[in-house]
């Protein structure tokens, strides 16, 4: 993903610095004003301790008053009745069929960890079709438990909750316009 982002930035003549590191313990060369955890990546942190460590690591790397944006699934989408979750993406002649979550993926109700099957089937003219598949642990968070983890981290002075990434964003609620859980955190200025 980092290589893909770098190539896309080069095509657009944008300067982009990428970092590959442990989400729970990293240090940037210099603090930043804005950090983001997108595409439900926080679900790879499967324990409360990991989430708190992540929140603190990001805060350590933010400038005073810096902003941290998290993009997560809306809690209403977390049921197993939506599985299997499949879609197909096309870009020119390239086609990628995606499976994210099979109906029989095991879920541990105690740890809230789902062993999620991910499968990408890639079709491109002139090349053999290939599939990449794996099963990985994920944990989705409800709003109240994530709010408690933010409080436990103790490094942010404000939090705003939204239901999508549009401008202006919808509030986080059970309305039809709400399809994500977006959390915006601000590090104290002092």
pLDDT for residue 80: 65
Please tell me whether residues 62 and 90 are part of one structural domain: no
Q: Are 152 and 47 in contact (CB under 8 A)?
A: no
Instruction: Please determine, for residue 79, whether its predicted confidence score (pLDDT) is greater than 80.
Output: no
- Chain segment 119-132, per-residue pLDDT in tens: 999 999 999 999 99
Report the pLDDT averaged over residues 45-50.
98
| Predicted TM-score (pTM) of this structure | 0.88
Q: Is 32 a member of any domain?
A: yes
Burial class (CB in 10 A: 0-12, 13-18, 19+), 24: middle
Residue 180 lies in a domain: no
Which sign, positive or negative, has the C-alpha torsion 147, 22, 34, 2?
Answer: negative
Q: Whole domain around residue 117: which residue ranges?
A: 79-137
* 17 and 61 both lie in a single domain: yes
Kindly state whether residues 58 and 85 are assigned to the same domain. Answer: no
Q: Between 77 and 15, whose confidence is greater? A: 15
Q: How many domains does the chain have?
A: 2
Give the mean pLDDT of the chain. Answer: 94
Does a structural domain hold residue 60? yes
């Amino acid at each position: 993903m980092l290589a893909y982002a770098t190539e896309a930035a080069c095509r657009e003549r944008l300067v982009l610095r990428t970092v590959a590191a442990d989400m729970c313990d990293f240090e940037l060369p210099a603090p930043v004003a804005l950090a983001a955890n997108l595409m439900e990546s926080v679900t790879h942190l499967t324990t409360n301790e990991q989430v708190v460590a992540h929140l603190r690591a990001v805060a350590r790397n933010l400038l005073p008053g810096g902003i941290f944006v998290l993009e997560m699934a809306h809690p209403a989408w977390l049921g197993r009745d939506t599985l299997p979750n499949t879609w197909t993406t096309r870009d020119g002649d390239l086609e990628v069929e995606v499976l994210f979550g099979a109906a029989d993926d095991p879920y541990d109700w105690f740890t809230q960890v789902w062993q999620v099957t991910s499968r990408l089937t890639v079709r491109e003219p002139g090349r053999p079709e290939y599939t990449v598949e794996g099963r990985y642990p994920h944990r989705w968070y409800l709003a109240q438990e994530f709010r408690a983890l933010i409080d436990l981290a103790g490094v942010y002075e404000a939090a705003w909750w939204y239901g999508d990434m549009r401008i202006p964003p919808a509030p986080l609620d059970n309305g039809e316009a709400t399809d994500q859980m977006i959390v915006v955190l601000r590090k104290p200025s002092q």
